[in-house]
Amino acid sequence: MSKENIVSIQSQVFDGFCGNNIASFVLRRRGHIPKILNTVHYYSKYKHIGDETKHEELNKILSEFIKDNVSSLDCNNIYFLTGYINTKECVEVVLKNIIALKKEKEKKYINLNSAGVTGASTAETVAKMAATTTATTTATTTAATKEKDEKCQTKEDEYLIEDIIEVNFFWLCDPVMADYGKLYVHKDVVDVYKKYASFADIITPNQNELELLCDTKINNENDTIKGLTLLLNSGVKLVIVTSVQYNFDMDHLYLYVGFLSKKKELTYFKYKIYRYDYCVSGSGDLFSSLLLSFIIRGGGNILHIISKVLNILHCVIKNSLNSLELHIIENQDIIASDGLCGTMHKEEPVFL
């Protein structure tokens, strides 16, 4: 079996915690050996003073990595995690390289299977690929009725991540662009994400980023679900909107997840989270790196995975209140844990 290759493409700061300073620590502390590609080198997340990696350099490194891996038998165990990328040219280069490898991988999948390597028939393989490649355009929502009575009680073998994405090879795209209403990348980056986001397997925008990606304002749950549906219908397999705040409920944040279930129904759940009065960026970076780790290492029910990631995140934020940085190192044991700590966050179906 090919070894695990996690490629984390994010910012690096001299002082403090965001981007790769979070992802590299979190992933290593949880036992992974990530490959770290820094898109910028700034003084801190508050002072973007420093330098940006040139798109030509990003291209050289990524295309070399792709060249090395495209020759492997199945391109398995490759995971891309993308976060803060500041310029249009850099986002384009990064996304195009990932998409190129994805396409190679898909070709190999078909070739290997049609040659009988895995025993599956070509027809089965192509059908499976087709089923996982494009989301249906029907916005049939279910989570709903059947699970009404079993609210918060999904079984471990339900909604398996392996039924939603290809767990041996995926791209987790955190379209880092804005938070607290402030854009912190060049504004033309938005259009690049709009153009290529549909190739992501998992996308984790916050409320502002979902608004930018979908050209919409989010004022209520209906708006959020419309945004999720748009991304799912474009081809993204799993959409997680990491934090949504509504004017009518300032005490809570909501996380929404949407995916195409095994039964090929668009399915939505939400998590209600107590909101601390804490406006420090970096929590999205902690969320995405933990999510990647839980998917690779544990797999299983995506709703349980999200719940564990949220538990860890909530504990770390709680232990970092009154500080301008998340206390990543101080909370390393929580970060390395199984996520069964603190307040358990449980999913609720979204009724449409």
Interface residue list for ligand PXL (CB under 6 A): 11, 13, 18-19, 42, 45, 84, 176, 184, 281-282, 284-285
Structure tokens at 273: 């989270």
Q: Which is nearer to ligand PXL, 143 or 335 (CB)?
A: 335
8 A C-beta contact, residue 271 and residue 310: yes
Structure tokens at 154: 């999904």
Query: Measured on CA atoms in the order 176, 180, 185, 188, is the torsion positive or negative?
Result: positive
Q: Provide, rounded to whole angstroms, the least separation between the CB of residue 336 and ligand PXL.
A: 21
Q: Provide, rounded to whole angstroms, the least separation between the CB of residue 12 and ligand PXL.
A: 8
Structure tokens at 158: 């339900």
C-alpha to C-alpha distance for 99 and 133, rounded to whole angstroms = 13
Cβ neighbours of 180 (radius 10 Å): 12
Q: Provide, rounded to whole angstroms, the least separation between the CB of residue 178 and ligand PXL.
A: 9
Q: Which is nearer to ligand PXL, 13 or 303 (CB)?
A: 13
Q: Provide, rounded to whole angstroms, the least separation between the CB of residue 18 and ligand PXL.
A: 4
Contacts of 61-68 with CB under 8 Å at 24 or more apart are 61/37, 62/37, 62/93, 62/94, 62/97, 62/98, 63/97, 65/7, 65/35, 66/97, 66/100, 66/101, 66/104
Q: Provide, rounded to whole angstroms, the least separation between the CB of residue 327 and ligand PXL.
A: 15
C-alpha to C-alpha distance for 141 and 135, rounded to whole angstroms = 13
Q: Provide, rounded to whole angstroms, the least separation between the CB of residue 185 and ligand PXL.
A: 9
Q: Which is nearer to ligand PXL, 113 or 283 (CB)?
A: 283
Q: Provide, rounded to whole angstroms, the least separation between the CB of residue 183 and ligand PXL.
A: 10
C-alpha to C-alpha distance for 205 and 213, rounded to whole angstroms = 9
Q: Which is nearer to ligand PXL, 184 or 278 (CB)?
A: 184
Phi/psi for 257 (5° steps) reads -130, 140
Q: Which is nearer to ligand PXL, 44 or 114 (CB)?
A: 44
8 A C-beta contact, residue 11 and residue 83: yes
222: left (phi > 0), else alpha (psi -120 to 50), else beta? alpha
Cβ neighbours of 328 (radius 10 Å): 21
Q: Which is nearer to ligand PXL, 43 or 351 (CB)?
A: 43
C-alpha to C-alpha distance for 268 and 273, rounded to whole angstroms = 16
Q: Provide, rounded to whole angstroms, the least separation between the CB of residue 179 and ligand PXL.
A: 6
Which residues, listed in sequence order, are joined to residue 252 by a DSSP beta bridge? 274
Structure tokens at 290: 């933990």
Q: Which is nearer to ligand PXL, 50 or 235 (CB)?
A: 50
Q: Which is nearer to ligand PXL, 79 or 84 (CB)?
A: 84
Q: Provide, rounded to whole angstroms, the least separation between the CB of residue 5 and ligand PXL.
A: 23
Q: Which is nearer to ligand PXL, 13 or 189 (CB)?
A: 13
